[in-house]
Structure 1
Amino acid sequence: MAVDPHKHCPICGTPIPLNELVCSPDCQKVWDARLNQQKRSRLILYVVIIIFLVIWAVMTFVK
Structure 2
Amino acid sequence: MAVEPHKHCPICGTPIPLNELVCSPDCQKVWDARLAQTKRTRIILYIIIAIFLIIWAIMTFMK
Q: TM-score, normalised by structure 1?
A: 0.99
Separation (CA, whole Å) in 2 of partners of 1:43 and 1:21 = 25
Q: Unaligned stretches of 5+ in structure 1?
A: none
Alignment coverage as a number of residue pairs? 63
Identity %: 83
The amino acid that maps onto 1:50 is A
* C-alpha displacement of 1:28: 0.1
Runs (4+) off by over 2 Å: none
Structure 2, gaps ≥5 residues long: none
Cα RMSD, aligned residues only: 0.3
TM-score, scaled relative to structure 2: 0.99
